[in-house]
């Protein structure tokens, strides 16, 4: 989707994943900013837990972060660094499937790559641990 400036912005699933992944940072940003939308994050989480349409609320949260001095808003929290993970050069195969952990409800684009000693994160919306999948 393109905004008025013609810049392509991430969709709602990516922004919801950013909320889930960076919940405490976003909460702190809202508290320290001039926005009067301090409880907006809690309303977004409650709506997501209830399974409602949160696209409008995500947009308001994004705008509140921007008004608080963060020009990227929620887009600054999105993570595209793992987009090419698992690509292998031609002729190189891997008999082993790689594991990834995804949003347990399938509502957002959050993902997490397993790390040696790190526990699997929990979804900030449902409280469930992320869902394990094989690539």
What's the mean pLDDT in 47-63?
88
What's the mean pLDDT in 67-91?
62
Judge whether 54 and 78 are in contact, CB under 8 Å.
no
86 falls within a domain: no
Whole-number Å distance between alpha carbons of 74 and 98:
28
Instruction: Tell me how many domains the chain contains.
Output: 1
Residue 10 has pLDDT above 50, yes or no: no
pLDDT score at 110: 93
32 falls within a domain: yes
- C-beta atoms surrounding 10 within 10 Å: 18
What's the mean pLDDT in 69-75?
82
Better-predicted residue by pLDDT, 135 or 90 = 135
| Tokens representing residue 21 in the block | 């992944």
Tell me how far the alpha carbon of residue 129 is from its chain's centroid. 15
Query: If pLDDT is split at 50, 70 and 90, which confidence band does 90 have?
Result: low
Residue 93 has pLDDT above 80, yes or no: no
* Maximal CA-CA distance, the chain: 56
58 falls within a domain: yes
Sheet of strand 111-112: strand arrangement = 111-112, 99-102, 131-134
What's the mean pLDDT in 122-129?
92
127 falls within a domain: no
50 falls within a domain: yes
Query: If pLDDT is split at 50, 70 and 90, which confidence band does 89 have?
Result: low
52 falls within a domain: yes
Domain that holds residue 50: 12-77
pLDDT score at 87: 47
In this structure, of 81-85, 88-92, 93-97, the range with the lowest mean pLDDT score is 81-85
34 falls within a domain: yes
Residue 122 has pLDDT above 90, yes or no: yes
100 falls within a domain: no
pLDDT score at 84: 33
Give whole-number Cα distances, 40 to 5, 6, 63, 95, in Å.
25, 27, 11, 46
Residue 23 has pLDDT above 70, yes or no: yes
């Amino acid at each position: 989707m393109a905004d008025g400036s013609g810049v392509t912005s991430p969709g709602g699933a990516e922004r919801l994943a950013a909320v889930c992944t960076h919940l405490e940072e976003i909460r702190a940003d809202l508290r320290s900013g001039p926005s009067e939308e301090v409880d907006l994050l809690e309303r977004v989480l409650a709506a997501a837990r209830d399974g409602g349409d949160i696209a409008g609320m995500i947009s308001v949260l994004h705008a509140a972060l921007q008004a608080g001095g963060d020009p990227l808003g929620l887009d600054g929290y999105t993570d595209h660094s793992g987009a090419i993970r698992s690509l292998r050069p031609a002729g190189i195969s891997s008999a082993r499937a790689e594991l990834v952990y995804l949003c347990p409800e399938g509502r957002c684009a959050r993902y997490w790559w397993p790390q040696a000693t790190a526990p699997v994160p929990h979804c900030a919306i449902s409280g469930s641990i992320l869902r394990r999948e094989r690539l």
